[in-house]
Structure 1
Amino acid sequence: MTLASVPAAYPKAVLFDLLTALLDSWSAWNRAAGSEQAGRAWRAAYLRLTYGCGQYIAYEQLVREAAAQVGLPESAALALEAEWPNLAPWSGAVDALQTLAPHCKLAVVTNCSARLGTQAANLLPVRWDAIVTAEEAGMYKPDPLPYRLALQKLGVAAHEAAFVAGSSYDMFGTAAVGLRTYWHNRVGLPLVSGAQPPEIEAPTLDPLAAWLARFGANRHERA
């Protein structure tokens, strides 16, 4: 049987990281910081704080703490929040979501407050079946709880779902939960030390729909 003739076998649900896999929040951080170099340093400090703290601490507080760590003023955090309505989807994100919508439940699992997570999710023209924030889960990714809460809301098991990551930190959580993972590594970050490699890594979302269309068939091949 040729690859083209393999019948579609989509997962029951696809979970997405929101602020890195679907939306270009990098540019917002850079604008708020005043330069790409400062924005990258600030974002890296924030990621270390977020993925290291586990239990939920106000997202806005972590953003301010990360800014202070890299020498940015508190006004940078205010500038980032002002940029929030301007977060733009990565090229290919909307097409991917619209392709998947008839076949799978769609959800986001995002490390931010409920207020900002809902606002960002609603920037994308899709009807979400679940929006899970770190604030709602009470824990930050990569703790397994946010991913499991999304699966619970969707009514699907981990083996019936896929996760689209924006950061390789997510792989710690998806490995613990048993979610097969696609890493949309848009900015070419290295795999975090100790993280399990994703099933597929790409700099765009272009291969996503084809991978998911063969999801069930690939699972049987891997078994």
Structure 2
Amino acid sequence: MMTTRQPHQPKPKAIIFDLLTALLDSWSIWDASTPTGTSLEGRKWRKQYLEVTFGSTVYGPGSTYEELVARSAAESGLPTSAPEALLRNWTDLKAWPEVGRVLRELRGKGYLLGVVTNCSKELGHAAVRSAERAAEEEGEGKWKFDAAVTAEETGWYKPAVQAYHGILPLLGEDVRPEDVLFVAGSAGDVVGATKAGFRVVWNNHVGLERKGDVLPLREGKSLDEALADFL
């Protein structure tokens, strides 16, 4: 775990999450979608996918989510069957084990909770439901995020500032960047969300390498470890 010293700041009004890395174990279905079904191919592809998506800016023809998934597979030396399998396997996405409990704890403390994801509208909201179901399994009744927005809906991929700020109107007129804590899943999110004016913690579940000199408030290997100061 790594923390950085920060001056006292007021409690955030909203906690916004990266989806496919901070909340969900997308690494497992990337592995399962490769010809060997192993992390040897899956990790290489997944890391290339992060480079490709965070290296893009505008969402549109030629740079849709599905196209970037296919491009990163080809650049990793994988056949077209790999991205095709990933899309078939999409509903197999599962949350990290602690996610449901932590989301319910945060809701109980009064935070607004949201998701910003570099994904298409259809796949992104399907993945959001995977995280919501994890929270439902920890209690009774339906559980939903206060807001969720995809790259397709904002027209921007993270780390563009517009991608992060696209969720703010959905959370209410009084929520400003300085009112937000962002839970990053990748190193690119640590940098991007900081530039967007958010406070940032990092759920570095799989031990990704840091990028640049920007540090999160706290880095942990689980969601509750990353959010220890807010639970």
Shorter-chain TM range is 0.7 to 0.9
Matched, 1:151 2:168: yes
* Alignment CA distance shift 1:210-1:67 (3 Å): closer
Distance 1:120 1:161 in 2: 22
Percent same amino acid at aligned positions?
Answer: 44
Who is 1:99 aligned against?
105
Who is 2:18 aligned against?
17
Distance 1:186 1:83 in 2: 21
Q: Which runs of 4+ in 1 moved over 6 A?
A: none
* Alignment CA distance shift 1:99-1:202 (3 Å): same
Decide which of 65, 69, 85 is 2:91's aligned counterpart.
85
Q: Which protein is richer in helix relative to its size?
A: 1
For 1:116-127, what aligned pairs fall within 5 Å after superposition? 116-125=123-132, 126-127=143-144
| Structure-2-length-normalised TM-score | 0.84
Matched, 1:54 2:57: yes
Decide which of 156, 160, 163 is 2:179's aligned counterpart.
160
Distance 2:165 2:33 in 1: 33
Distance 1:83 1:121 in 2: 15
- Once the two structures are TM-superposed, the CA of residue 10 in structure 1 deviates from its matched residue by 4.1
- Once the two structures are TM-superposed, the CA of residue 205 in structure 1 deviates from its matched residue by 1.4
Who is 2:74 aligned against?
68
Question: Do 1:96 and 1:208's aligned partners in 2 also have CA atoms closer than 8 Å?
Answer: no
Distance 1:49 1:91 in 2: 28
Cα RMSD after superposing both structures: 1.3
- Once the two structures are TM-superposed, the CA of residue 152 in structure 1 deviates from its matched residue by 2.2
Gaps of 5+ in 1: 1-8, 214-223
Question: Do 2:202 and 2:226's aligned partners in 1 also have CA atoms closer than 8 Å?
Answer: no
| Structure-1-length-normalised TM-score | 0.87
Who is 1:45 aligned against?
48
Distance 2:194 2:180 in 1: 13
Decide which of 191, 196, 201 is 2:214's aligned counterpart.
196
Q: CA offsets, 1:115-142, max 9 Å, x none?
A: 0000000112331111110111111001
Who is 2:121 aligned against?
114
